[in-house]
Amino acid sequence: MKKVAVVASLVMVLLGALISMAASRDVRLGYLRNDLHHLAAWVAMDKGFFREEGVNVEIAGIFNAGPEEMTAFASRSLDMGYLGVAPSATGLANRSARIRAVALANAEGSSVVVRKDSAIKEVRDLAGKTVAIPGYSSVQDFLLRKALEAAGADPKKVNIIAIKPPEMIVALNAKQIDAFIAWEPHPSKAVTMGIGRVLISSPMIWKDHPCCVVAVDDSFYKENPQVVKSFLKAHIRATAYIKKNPEDALRIGMKYTGMDEATVREAISHIQYHYFAKEDDIKEYVRYLLKFGYVKSMNVDEFAREYLDLKAIKEVVQ
């Protein structure tokens, strides 16, 4: 009887190991270059949270802007990624990629920056000026246009151009552009370098607005629902870690951006780290995409339900 119990115990251990191995799966992950909005991903990697949840993360791409990352999703070279709401929604709406947003990565965290000595004092002063955005249909594109309209300025009278965020500060300093809007830490870096000053930050444009999401390839999700849940467990742990351990989160942010402490500390203070998104907020982004012709006519409510899938994360937190 004792031998039977020992054998049974060994069998259970082996079964547990096999189940663990089956659950462990490589996830090809993408995120944006030097984007502190994606700090949770870096924390999860640095602290081993993905590995502890049985997920083997392979960095399959570090991108300059969300539309670039959506191209990678379209070519099926990514399984999951951190990127903005607007470009991910645009890609799905235009059927260039089949993804779904399964969690929020952050809220807020962008700013419009002008030169330190600029005569531009208000958003409406941007009329007739050249303003750089990270990409058309990006979150920052939306925020800029929203700010201009709120200030009574016609976006058509602003020369809006797309520049990679790492190049924006150089272009501003060289007077090639009059202003830029970017995600953190680029606005804070312009300030700490003594080149720029913040004209308006995103909470002043739209308080608590969602910014970046965790997106997953639709086929990957359907084939690996448990892996997605394990990934989200690590994401939730990382988000909580940022709030509970701000100094270590600061260290990790410096490690992955290569930027100085003053810049990263200032940048993180402007970002809200959350993991739940609201459907109504997604609808507002979609209406903007429709308004400026980035997507074709659609039923906003139906699309928001297709794009935002919180079933997995709700199951994880229960």
Question: What are the per-10-residue average pLDDT scores of the chain (318 residues)?
Answer: 44 42 74 96 98 97 93 97 95 94 98 98 97 93 96 95 95 98 97 98 96 98 97 98 98 97 97 95 93 92 96 92
- pLDDT digit string, tens, across residues 185-201: 999 999 999 999 999 99
Reading the block at residue 17, the tokens are: 């190991």
Q: What is the mean pLDDT of the chain?
A: 92
Cβ-proximal residues to 22 (8 Å cutoff; 6+ apart), any chain: none
Which of 234, 316, 282 lies closest to 50 in space, CA to CA?
A: 234
Does the domain made of 110-205 have the CATH classification 3.30.428.10? no
In this prediction, residue 114 carries a pLDDT of 98
* Range(s) of the chain covered by CATH 3.40.190.10: 25-107+209-317, 110-205
In this prediction, residue 24 carries a pLDDT of 53
In this prediction, residue 318 carries a pLDDT of 80
In this prediction, residue 285 carries a pLDDT of 92
pTM of the model as a whole? 0.88
The CA distances from residue 302 to 76, 215, 222, in Å, are 25, 18, 20
Which of 91, 79, 315 lies closest to 219 in space, CA to CA?
A: 79
In this prediction, residue 87 carries a pLDDT of 93
Write down the CATH superfamily of domain 25-107+209-317.
Periplasmic binding protein-like II (3.40.190.10)
Q: How many helices (H) and strands (E) does the chain have?
A: 16, 11
Residue whose token pair is 């300030």: 191
CA distance 230 to 232: 5
